[in-house]
Chain A
C-alpha cells in the first residue's frame, strides 16, 4: 500500500474523532425531541396506540433502503475509483443496514399482530423488506467468510451493485406475486392522508434515525480502519520476526 493511500484514512480518522461526539450529541437531542413528540401524538381512531409503532417502523424502512443506497454509491467508489475508504464504507454500512431492516421487520410484525391476528402475513411490503434483509444477510455472510479484506472488497462491491439493480425488480415481482394470490388487500399500512400531528413527529423521528445511522456508520468505519491497521501491523510483525 502506498503512502498516499494511507493519507486518506488517516485524515478520515482525525475528522471522525472530531465529528463523532457532536454528531452523537445532536442525534440524542433529536431523538429526545422526536420521542417527546411521539408521546404526545394522538392515537389513531381505529388502531389506538398501536399506530405509534409506525414511528419506529417507517424510519427504519427508510434507512433499510438508504443503507443499500449508500453501499451502492460506495461500491462504485470501490470499483471505479478504487478509493481506499469506499470499501470500508460498504463494510461498515452492511451490519447497520441489516439491523435497521431487522427492526423494520420486527416492528412491522408487531404492528400486524392486532390487525391481521397473526405476527406475519406475506404482505407485499413486508415481503419486499424480507428479501432486502436476505440480501443484507448475504452481504454479511460474504464478509464473514472472507479472510482477506481486499479480496472481499471487490466481491462485496459487485454484490452491492447487483443488489441495487435487482431491488426494484424484486419489489415489482413481489407486488405482482402478492396481488396474484391476494386480490384485495384488507389493511393498508400507510392509511389515508397523514395529519400534521402525525407527520411532524414522523419526520423528526426519520431525521433522528438518519442521524443515528450516520453516527453508527462513521464509528463503524473508524473501527474498521483501525482493525485493518492492526491486521497489517500484525502481518508486519510476522514478516519481521
Chain B
C-alpha cells in the first residue's frame, strides 16, 4: 500500500473508533440548522426562502470547527514528526489528511442535507441541487480550513482563532454556493454559472490549501 492511501485509511479508521470525530460534523450541522427556526420563527415560506443560506452557513461552521484538531492531535502525540520524515512530500501528506477528513466529516453532512431540507420546506426536486452544491463546495471548505488547522499547530492556539483566520477566506465559496443553490430553487438566474465557479473554487483550493498548510507546518518547526 502506498504511503498516501495508508494515511487516508488510518485517519478514516481513527475517526470511526472511540473518540473519533466521524459524524460529529454532521451532528453539529443538524443541531445548528435546527436551531435557526427558533430564532426566525416557523414560517415555512420564509424558511424555504432562506433555507439554502442556512444550510450553507451550517455546513461552513461544522466543516471548519471539525478541522480544529486535524494536525494538533498528531502534533501532540509525536506522529507529526514522523509524518514529515517520509519520502511522501508534506503537501501530499496534508492532502491525504484533508481527503480523509472530508470523507468522514463533510460527506455525511452532505448525505443528511435532504432531511434538513424537508424540515426547511425546500422542494424535493430542488433538494438534489442544494446537496449537489454542498458536495461540490465542501471540499473547498475543507482544503481552505486545512490552512487554519496547520496554523493552529504553529501558533499553538486552536478553536476560535482558527475560525477568525479562515472564515473570511471562505467568502467566495459561500457566495457562489448559496447563489447556485438559490438559482436551483427560485431562479430566475441559471444554475450553471455559479455552480461552475464553485467547482473552480474547489479545484483551486485543492492546489492552494495543501501548499499553504505544508508551508505553515514547516514554519512551525522553527
Contact = CB atoms under 8 A, between A and B. Distances in A.
Asked if the two chains touch in their complex, CB atoms less than 8 Å apart, one says yes
A141 B27 contact: yes
A210 interface: no
Given A134-B31, A134-B34, A119 B118 contact: yes
Contacts, number: 49
Contacts of A146: 18-19
B122 to A, nearest CB: 10
Contact of A141 (B18, B24, B119): B24
Given A122-B42, A137-B30, A181-B42, A109 B18 contact: no
B43 A181 contact: yes
B10 to A, nearest CB: 18
Nearest to B18: A147
A127 B41 CA distance: 12
A40 interface: no
Nearest to A118: B121
Given A118-B121, A120-B121, A130-B34, A178 B18 contact: no
B37 interface: yes
Interface string B21-45: 1011001001100100110011110
Nearest to B28: A141
Given A120-B118, A147-B19, A182 B31 contact: no
Interface in B32-74: 34, 37-38, 41-44, 47
Contacts of B23: 144
Interface string A181-192: 110000000000
Nearest to B31: A134
Given A120-B118, A120-B121, A144-B18, A137 B42 contact: no
A144 B19 CA distance: 6
B38 A137 contact: no
A224 to B, nearest CB: 14
A121 B37 CA distance: 11
A122 B37 contact: yes
Nearest to B120: A120
14 contacts: A118-B44, A122-B42, A130-B34, A134-B31, A137-B31, A141-B27, A144-B23, A145-B21, A145-B24, A147-B18, A147-B19, A181-B42, A181-B43, A182-B42
Interface of A: 109, 118-123, 127, 130, 134, 137-138, 141, 144-147, 174, 177-178, 180-182
